[in-house]
Structure 1
Amino acid sequence: MTKTLIKNIDAIPPLPESVQDVEKIYRDENGTFEDMQKAIEKDPILTADILRIANSPMYGISRTVNSVKQAVSLLGKDAIRAFVLNSAVNASFKIDLSPYGMTKEQFAYACERQLALTINWFVRRQPKQLAVLAPAAFLVDLGRVIISKTLIEDGKAGVIKEALDKAEDISKAEKSACGAQTTDVTATLFNNWQLDPEIIHVIRYSDDPEGTIDEDREMAAQLKAVRETVLPNGEITEESIAAAKATIEEFGLDMESYEKALDIVLNS
């Protein structure tokens, strides 16, 4: 990593106290739904963020969610924890993705579609994996925000656009310009925030699931398929779906459940 990138990672503040409280409750085997609800409701901004996201049609809830209690009950602790971490991102980052030709709104839309696809894919079939995959899917591309800031400061904002124009690998362009790709930066930031090491590991290997051990390979491949489905600007195309399905077939993942989840996201 370049000095500027390291400086920008180190400059990110710790998670807000309310978010740290929720994370402690989530990771405490004795923590309850009620404990999580109370911790969230202490922070009005966090509460508003949770209700806004929970009421998105992408999560397949047929009625309006009017309270944190409802949100936790309907979506579960794993999804709500991911929403809480996203709220921390909104509080901690000034998002400028102009080197990627993206707006803040497009970035947020992509994050929400990735999370929605993940929840709809696994919540009823592999709910235990959501503890890792929900926050990973929602925030895996957070490193892109820090890389973007670094490229602007170092006068290299055109590097990504050039790679995009030539249909080249963006990860390689990121590494060339600042010594790390998006997943590396996100994993480093999550480590600084002392989040679950398994989340960090799965994010780090989502570009290359074959590079990790058997027990984590499936989740890394699942995260890879989610990221391939949803383009960085939030779009889902025939080509992106084909790329994701190739990964699903390669790693023997559940294609039928993926297609059902994708249908919900596309029609929301």
Structure 2
Amino acid sequence: MSTDIIKRIESLSPLPKTIIDIEEFRKKSDKEASDLLEIIEKDALIISTLLKISNSAMFGFRSKVETPSRAVNLLGINFTITIAIGGTIQNLLKTNLEPYGITSDDFMRTSNLSSSLVSLWLGKVNYDLKEELLLPALLQETGKFILADNIINDGKCEEFKAKISSGINLALAEKEVVGFSSSEITAKIFRHWKLSENLIELIENVDNISNCDERIKEKVQILDVIKTACEITNPLSQKNITLAIKKAKNYGLNVKALEEAIEKLEDRLLDE
């Protein structure tokens, strides 16, 4: 890994106390919504992010969500945790995403689409799997902030954009220009922050499915399908949906449930 990227990761600010507290809460087997609410109410950024996302079309709630407690009740504990951690981490890393042709807001929207798709796809298929994959689905592209910074600083922005325009797979473009994929960088960042090793292991293997441990293979395959459908430069485009469904078939995953989830999410987005 280039020295620049190592230095950039090592110089990252520590995670705020709120996120450390949420991580500890996340590891508990017995979780109470009131305890989570007590943690997040100390953080204005988390509250504003939570309310903004709760009121977005992708959730389709019938009336406006105006309080954190109602947001937690509607979204559930794990989804609330996912949004709190995801929003804070993306805010800490916020940088120019010009090489990918998107803004930070575009990135956050696509990340939230990813976790919504996991919820809709797995909700009726495997509840425990859904709960486990909400956070990695949201966070798996976080490394793009560091990669974008590196690409800009090395003057390789146009070279990278040209590769993307040629239709090359994003992870392959990242490896060719920087030497590492977003998944690999994300894992390095999360190790620096001492986040859950289970979370790190899943994300780290998304671009290495053929060699990953059998015990996590299905989870990593699901993350790959989500990443493909919600590819950040063109989320839920017909091309990316077709490719994601093809991957799901090849992996032996529940394709019918995936197709229904995509259709439902697309319907919600029409209301935006």
Q: Return the TM-score normalized by structure 2.
A: 0.92
Report what 1:51 is aligned to. Answer: 51
1:232 aligns with 2:232: yes
- 1:248 and 1:24 map into 2 onto residues whose CA distance is 33
Q: Which amino acid aligns with 1:102?
A: I
- 1:133 and 1:106 map into 2 onto residues whose CA distance is 21
- 1:91 and 1:107 map into 2 onto residues whose CA distance is 11
Q: Which amino acid aligns with 1:244?
A: A
Q: For this pair of structures, how many residues does the alignment match? A: 268
- With over 3 angstroms needed to count, the CA separation of the structure-2 counterparts of 1:193 and 1:123, relative to structure 1, is farther
Deviations for 1:195-216, whole angstroms, at most 9, x for unmatched residues? Answer: 2212111111222323212221
- With over 3 angstroms needed to count, the CA separation of the structure-2 counterparts of 1:51 and 1:234, relative to structure 1, is farther
Deviations for 1:163-200, whole angstroms, at most 9, x for unmatched residues? Answer: 11322233233223322110000111112222221211
Report what 1:265 is aligned to. Answer: 265
Report what 2:141 is aligned to. Answer: 141
Residue 82 of structure 1, CA deviation = 1.0
- 2:199 and 2:60 map into 1 onto residues whose CA distance is 25
Q: Indicate if the aligned counterparts of 1:82 and 1:134 stay in contact, CA closer than 8 A.
A: yes
- 1:141 and 1:185 map into 2 onto residues whose CA distance is 9
Residue 16 of structure 1, CA deviation = 1.1
- 2:138 and 2:240 map into 1 onto residues whose CA distance is 18
- 1:201 and 1:184 map into 2 onto residues whose CA distance is 10
Alignment of 1:19-38 (within 5 A): 19-38=19-38
Alignment of 1:54-65 (within 5 A): 54-65=54-65
Q: Which amino acid aligns with 1:164?
A: I
1:216 aligns with 2:216: yes
- 1:18 and 1:71 map into 2 onto residues whose CA distance is 18
Q: Indicate if the aligned counterparts of 2:8 and 2:146 stay in contact, CA closer than 8 A.
A: yes
Residue 62 of structure 1, CA deviation = 3.1
Deviations for 1:218-268, whole angstroms, at most 9, x for unmatched residues? Answer: 111111111111121353122111111111111111112212211121112
Report what 1:176 is aligned to. Answer: 176
Alignment of 1:30-179 (within 5 A): 30-179=30-179
Report what 1:197 is aligned to. Answer: 197
Structure 2 residue matching 1:58: 3-state secondary structure: coil
- 2:143 and 2:80 map into 1 onto residues whose CA distance is 21
- With over 3 angstroms needed to count, the CA separation of the structure-2 counterparts of 1:165 and 1:264, relative to structure 1, is same
Q: Which amino acid aligns with 2:53?
A: I
- 1:259 and 1:39 map into 2 onto residues whose CA distance is 37
Structure 2 residue matching 1:141: 3-state secondary structure: coil
- 2:195 and 2:254 map into 1 onto residues whose CA distance is 28
Structure 1 residue matching 2:76: 3-state secondary structure: helix
- 1:87 and 1:237 map into 2 onto residues whose CA distance is 24
Superposition RMSD in Å: 1.7
Report the identity percentage.
24
Residue 57 of structure 1, CA deviation = 2.1
Q: Which amino acid aligns with 1:173?
A: A
140-149 or 152-161: which moved more? 152-161
- 2:156 and 2:7 map into 1 onto residues whose CA distance is 16
Q: Which amino acid aligns with 1:141?
A: E
